[in-house]
């Protein structure tokens, strides 16, 4: 089964993996310096119970920390964030989401975005 330490990534496309992977949905191409919407959610709903829940989600641009949202069991672990695109000196950049389940560790997902 999956390792519960370190950072996990989707490997086999199992329901267990989909339940823990913080999928990023946003445009594939954005304008430099513009704000754009980024949605982060699991592919299959994860339980939000007292003893098993999604604790938090974090968003990075490469290694640059952007935001963190902490959840309680009264929340659906799904967020929409407005992110500022980098300036035009780059051609593309990577968004990286981390999500932590209290039982099943930290999971990572990356999406590359083009700049226009």
Q: Of 96 and 104, which CB lies nearer to Fe ion in the complex structure? A: 104
Count Cβ atoms below 10 Å from residue 98 Cβ, excluding itself: 17
Cβ-based nearer residue to Fe ion, 53 or 96: 53
Nearest residue to Fe ion by CB is: 101
Q: Contact residues for Fe ion (CB under 5 A)?
A: 101, 103-104
CB 67, min distance to Fe ion, A: 22
CB 24, min distance to Fe ion, A: 19
Bridge partners of residue 39, in order along the sequence = 25, 80
What is the rounded distance in angstroms from the CA atom of residue 75 to the CA atom of residue 88? 37
Burial class of residue 116 (count of CB atoms within 10 Å of its CB; 0-12, 13-18, 19+): exposed
- The minimum distance between CB 20 and Fe ion, in angstroms, equals 6
d(CA 61, CA 66): 7
* 4 or 35: CB nearest Fe ion: 4
Q: Closest separation between CB of residue 60 and Fe ion, Å?
A: 21
């Amino acid at each position: 089964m999956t390792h519960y330490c370190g950072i996990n990534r989707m490997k086999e496309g199992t329901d267990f993996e989909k339940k823990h992977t913080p999928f990023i949905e946003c445009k594939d191409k954005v304008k430099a310096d513009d704000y754009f919407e980024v949605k982060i959610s699991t592919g299959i709903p994860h339980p939000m119970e007292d003893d098993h829940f999604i604790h938090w989600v974090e968003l990075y641009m490469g290694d640059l920390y952007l935001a963190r949202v902490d959840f309680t069991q009264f929340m659906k672990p799904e967020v929409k964030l407005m992110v500022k695109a980098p300036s035009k000196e780059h051609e593309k950049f990577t968004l990286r989401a981390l999500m932590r389940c209290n039982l099943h560790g930290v999971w990572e997902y990356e999406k590359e975005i083009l700049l226009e």
